[in-house]
Structure 1
Amino acid sequence: MFSINNRNEDNENEDMGENMSDIKEKCEIVEQINFGDYGNVESFRVIFIPSNQDIQPYEVSISTKESIQTQLDNIINTKNRVSEYISKKDTSHIIFPLVDIGANGFLANPRASDLLRRKKSFLGDALFVNFKKIYRDISLEEFLKIEKFISKNIYVQDFENICKINDHDLVSLITKKSTFQVDKDIWIYKKKSSQALYEINFKVNDIDFEYKPIVEKLKPAGPFYSHFTIEGISFFSKILPQKTLSINSLSNRVLMYLIWRQQKLLFGCDQQYIDTSEQEHRLEHEQFLKDNVKIQKDNEQTSMDITTSTSTTTTATATTTTTATDVEFKDVTKPKQTDVKFKDISPPSPSSSSTSTSTSTSTMINNDKEDEEIIELYGIKIKKNHSVISIKDKEIYKHVIKAGNGTVFPTIGNSIVISFSTRLPNGKIIQEKQKQTIIIGETNCIIGIHYALTSMSPGEHSIVVLDPQYAYGDLGLPGLITAHTRLIVLIEASNQFDTREKSNNATIIRMSTTEKINAIRSGSDLAKNNFNSNRLGRSLRDYKSLENYYNLDYLSKVSQEEWDDIQSLATSNSINIAIVYSKLNRWDRTFHYLKLAMEYDEDSPKIHYWLSKCYKNGQNYEDAIKEIQLAQKIDSESQTPKMTNLQYNKELDHLNKLLANQELEERKMYKRIFDNLHEDDDNQTTEINKMEDDLLFTQGNSENKNLDIIADSNN
């Protein structure tokens, strides 16, 4: 049987006396069955929360030797009950009688409803049950503390189970001091610290906490560090080569503070939090600047040494022949500046080709012994008497290892298969030899390679020397190439070139911004006509063909007015692609393109309206409601609203009904699960009792036989 304890005698009145007698009557009939594995624990306490607000909550003791469910039913005077969980992943719950709103004899229970942080109010007396696989004890003192922190205004975060991706246990978190800590430099948990911070939800000085780290870069291509300020404390990450790594480093430190902050809130702490990340960052930043200056000086010295060494060992004595003009170099490492321009390089005329061939042949005949002499240039073996060709002034030039056939010279839009490797002037290999298809003017690779390929013919092998501005410029490649360093590229062209011009991206690159804007507009009209005619496949193809027109990689310098047009058209086109995908029932692609649209305009009500549709399709009604409310808020502030408030409210009502139905189905599902668990336990208990009876019967028979044997021996 259960008993009632810790009643507040000061507030007793006649109504309370009647309630007490009613409760005692409810407890007279209980079933004689066990539940769960409680060992020697004979009872546990739950908290009774009266709907009468004049009565304070009190403890009720539940026996583990009898039917727990029957006892709980009797306390709230109904077998039709509903369990509401205090958190989605926490199975501690509040039990209410399942009654319709306005039912006679049932009052609203705001005290119990507030613990659930729900908009709706529940009716009738309620029970707070501490449940985690089995029922567990909870005192009135613990309940009052839980009530204080699990409320509408104060949110408690289960950091340990968020990071470990386990089930939450808010009751234990509030009532027992946690020993969970994280290390600022080492992360061993399943979920990243940054992901955990994005999930938490609480208020700081009555403002919703929002984790938005600020990322700074010490150079345009890195390294990076991140910082974030909360409650006047500034946290800094380490200086790291990748942005994501710096965010994770910062997140560890912020998470350490939030864990300490919550422990202080729950259990009190006199010590102040001390964070040394800002001081550590200053020292690390100063050291980085010193190291960078030293590396730059070392690199300049290395370049000077290499230039001196190369000038001594590689003297080009032959007059070189180029495909565009005759250039004579006396110093390979410092070619004489010529008037050769990038666009001037073209195949030689038949007459000049024959002249060059005869000159080259005669040189080969007269200098057989010199041709056989091999030298090492940038770590690559090459004939001492080789051709040096200027491609773009003295900024790009090449040492020809093996001449091509001289029949075809590619232009922008042509496709070429090459094998290439990159290295530093001291011969250190940066990238091993690899094969790649390059479309000149389009493929994303070092720009100097595009220039070099326009001077090459099929079968040619050359060492191309790139000035920093045509390689990695003043950025360098962190950890591999310092800033303002020349790059050496060994290129081996295939024996055949595809000289058919690709009209897509190569054409777009050469278009002006105004031409691109006009192309997007005309293409959108065509796609819209196909969409209105229900030709969804063609419409999708037309919309997607416009993406490269507003690709940031293909945009040159634009005015503010042009950028506003590009931004508006890009947003509209991405939304249109998303809508077409929704008609094809590809909601995953719809969601993807809506997120792309947000990169151009995150305050578009149309984006949030269709995001709501995505969440609705995935039955995530809570997020769907948030998105439609955000769309309504943004749209109401616009001078030209897309929808009326009546239309928004109609959609909101529909989503709220869907959410209510979903919650009802979840409650029914959990009820069925618990009922099945109880039935299984009942069956198991019956089998155990039967086994015990059989054992007792066997022992009794054995004892009787022993007595008979003793009696016979006495006789």
Structure 2
Amino acid sequence: MEMELCCEEHEDPGMECTEYVAREAISVVADRDSPTKLPCGPAEEGDKLLRKKVLELGALNSLHPTWGQEVTVKMQCVLEDRTVVEKDWKLVFVVGEGDVNQALEECVISMHKGEITLLLADSQYAYGLLGREPDIPAWAPLLYQLQLLDIREKTDPLTLPIADRIRIGNQKRERGNFHFQREENSLAARAYCMALDVLTTCNKDGSSSGIEAEEEEVRDYRIKCLNNLATAQLKLGQGDEALHTSRDVLTLEPINVKALFRMGKILSDKGEYKEAMEVLKKALKLEPTTKAIHAELSKLVQRQLGDKDTQEWKAKPAKMLGDNITPFLCPSKKRTFGISWKFILGALVVALGSLVMSVILTARN
């Protein structure tokens, strides 16, 4: 999920990152020779991309969070110029599910409950080349002040109320949209799949717990997730998976034009022209003015004509001077020309016969 600014009216002095504190923190954490620096997460040899400084120790007898556990973190983030770009006094996320950037996940799994830490994160672990519009520029390192408030096991989504499932599912869907806009298609597809796991009205025993309005809302969000997932899969070159996902959309909504168009395009690319034509015609009937559907139908017709011409020629073995020659293309149907070769051969025989008779008669005379 994208960070949401959830600031309370009052400020927590223990977490307030003033300009002086930020300047000193960047200086201390960035100092490679400082004895207080702690590498966090993977880093290249001799290049600490994530550097942390513990400001206040937590409960040392407590365990570190592990992947798949849910944590609650008090967080504030500033740029090098001390501009506050993120602040959340109660940020909840599951470690390893990509709900936050990699820097936060890598740092949290090294913390104890109650610990307060400064984290200086290289842009490669934050928002990288693209930054984050409008507040985080490209290649910007970020300074976080974090406090780990709570660690618990992730709740099974099938035991949650439907309203909570919709909220969590939408957060993961929006995270997928964030990655998709940045052309991070693998991360986007992963987020959409996680959203689909949550967006359901089924209980653990297989029964449905939602009222009609909730079921309709869940269905609408599932359709959005599936359509977005299919688009991401296509960009990743996963045509078969995108076709399957598009069929899932049509199971929920048979007249979904986006899914029909995408399915028809995939089938056309796979050479399944008959089914592709039926699907695209159905999409065109629903939206007769959409130019993309007209263009795809025209492309499909051209492909069909091209394949028909190709099928008129078939491979045929041939021999020459007793050696096998690589099969070559020859017409499958005999074509008729203006003068038959049999007629020409007959005329040649008659002419030769006449010439021989003339020579014989001349010799006798």
TMscore range, shorter length? 0.3 to 0.5
Rg comparison, structure with higher value? 1
- TM-score scaled by structure 1? 0.22
- TM-score scaled by structure 2? 0.43
Higher relative contact order (CA 8 A, sep 6+): 2
